[in-house]
Amino acid sequence: MSPAPLIERYRERLSLEPGDPVVTLNEGSTPLVEAPRLSERLGVRAYLKFEGANPTGSFKDRGMTVAVSRAKGRGAEAVICASTGNTAASAAAYAARAGLRGAVIVPEGKIAIGKLAQALMHGARVVALQGNFDDALRIVRELAHKHPIELVNSVNPHRIEGQKTAAFEVIEELGGAPGALAIPVGNAGNVTAYWRGFQEAGTAPILYGFQAEGAAPLVHGEPVASPETVASAIRIGNPARWEEAMAAFTASRGRVAAVSDEQILDAYRWLAAGEGVFCEPASAASVAGLLAHGLPTVEDSEPPESVVCVLTGHGLKDPDTALSKAPAVINCENDLSAVEQAVFE
């Protein structure tokens, strides 16, 4: 039996109305995987929260099940979002499931191919904008204001409500909160959601947020007009949940820092080959950040004894980046000794 849908597990802690339908694909209950080699490198017990195991391959499904259930409950007929890819895939899937129309606005040429395939296959109207994510978000906010269409970006409060359940799961599985949590930061919805979840459970792990160097507005303290990074999921210059995310870093005694594309790609390959966990490049920013910066603590506080790294999306989302960074395939003749040579040499 698959685990209960997230809304069934946590309904009383979520924001749904009593009559709302449950639009679900059995999201949540994702693996918390021990990471022995990462633990060794960091000198602290490390775990990977593998959100790539959600139905559409990213953490967005946690928020989407709640946001789309609420949208359906209040009689919406369509949903819309701006996206660097994963929100689009998830919104399209849950809209299909709910029998709603879906429209997604993505930055042209800047989303991973698997995410594009998902959004199209689920029947959403996919609009490729000649602009970046921040432009797309500004436009969909205006459209949702003008038309009777539900905005399902993480500016939608129900998205945050659903995503906070990942913190509940971590606490349940470890028998308490970890000492620290490392997380990639783009539009800053997910870090906001984890902090809310931990706080509601009466805990306060240290939060380490990581942005890509070329898309690090929170680190620089000002919006980035033309964000650039290989981690296309977090290519965002003006996060919508800016203040809440910064408040969470401060309250948790944590911090937000930047990692280079090279550090992200190194961690991405190393996790796949060294821990057997294939996440997408943006997700690897959480591990890259810890490897690059360690686990800094404020004065007078003990270093954390355990850390959970949130791996936000599945590696199969972005086969282009994987293949461009992976070792070459070995071509071989149809012959035993040729294969023997290819395998053993």
Site for ligand F0G in 82-101 (CB under 6 A): 83-87
CB of 45 or CB of 124, closer to ligand F0G: 124
Least Å from the CB of residue 173 to ligand F0G: 21
- Interface region with ligand F0G, contact rule CB under 6 A, candidates 36-44, 92-100, 120-128, 277-285: 277-285
Q: CB nearer to ligand F0G: give 142 or 333.
A: 142
In the bound complex, what is the minimum distance in angstroms from residue 164's beta carbon to ligand F0G? 12
State the minimum distance, in angstroms, from the CB of residue 26 to ligand F0G.
20
In angstroms, the CA 44 to CA 135 distance is 40
Identify any residues that bridge with 79 across adjacent strands, giving them in sequence order: 102, 150
* Site for ligand F0G, residues 208 to 237, rule: CB under 6 A: 233-234
- Of the candidate residues 103, 280, 295, 309, the single one contacting ligand F0G (CB under 6 A): 280
User: Shortest distance, CB of residue 186 to ligand F0G, whole angstroms?
Assistant: 3
Q: What is the closest distance, in whole angstroms, from the C-beta atom of residue 102 to ligand F0G in the complex?
A: 14
CA atoms within 13 A on the CB side of 83: 30
End-to-end CA distance of the chain: 44
Closer residue to ligand F0G (CB): 20 or 182? 182
To ligand F0G, the closest distance from the beta carbon of 75 in angstroms equals 25
Choice between 45 and 91, CB closer to ligand F0G = 91
Q: Least distance in Å: CB of 341 to ligand F0G? A: 40
Which residue of 92, 248, 282, 290 would you call a contact of ligand F0G, by CB under 6 A? 282
Q: How far is the CB of 110 from ligand F0G (least distance, A)?
A: 11
Q: How many residues bind ligand F0G (CB under 6 A)?
A: 22
- Least CB distance from residue 4 to ligand F0G, whole Å? 24
Site for ligand F0G in 150-189 (CB under 6 A): 154, 184-189
One-letter-per-residue 3-state SS of the chain? CCCCCHHHHHHHHCCCCCCCCCCCCCCCCCCEEECHHHHHHHCCEEEEEEHHHCCCCECHHHHHHHHHHHHHHCCCCEEEEECCCHHHHHHHHHHHHHCCEEEEEEECCCCCHHHHHHHHHCCCEEEEECCCHHHHHHHHHHHHHHCCCEECCCCCHHHHHHHCHHHHHHHHHHCCCCCEEEEECCCCHHHHHHHHHHHHCCCCCEEEEEEEHHHCHHHHCCCCCCCCCCCHHHCCCCCCCHHHHHHHHHHCCCEEEEECHHHHHHHHHHHHHHHCCCECHHHHHHHHHHHHHCCCCCCCCCCCCEEEEEECEEHHHCHHHHHHHCCCCCCCCCCHHHHHHHHHC
Give the chain's radius of gyration (CA, Å). Answer: 20
Q: Among residues 186 and 289, whose Cβ is nearest to ligand F0G?
A: 186
Comparison of 45 and 159: residue with beta carbon closer to ligand F0G: 159
Does 67 bind ligand F0G (CB under 6 A)? Our answer is no
Collapsing DSSP to helix, strand or coil, 331 comes out as coil
Judged by CB under 6 A, the residue of 237, 313, 318, 322 near ligand F0G is 313
Does the footprint of ligand F0G cover residue 190 (CB under 6 A)? Answer: yes
* 225 vs 330, beta carbon nearer ligand F0G: 225
Binding of ligand F0G by 238 (CB under 6 A): no
Residues 6+ apart with CB under 8 A from 132: 107, 110, 226, 227, 235, 236, 237
**Among 56, 118, 252, 312, interactor with ligand F0G by CB under 6 A:** 312
Interface residues with ligand F0G (CB under 6 A)?
Answer: 58, 60, 83-87, 154, 184-190, 233-234, 280, 282-283, 312-313
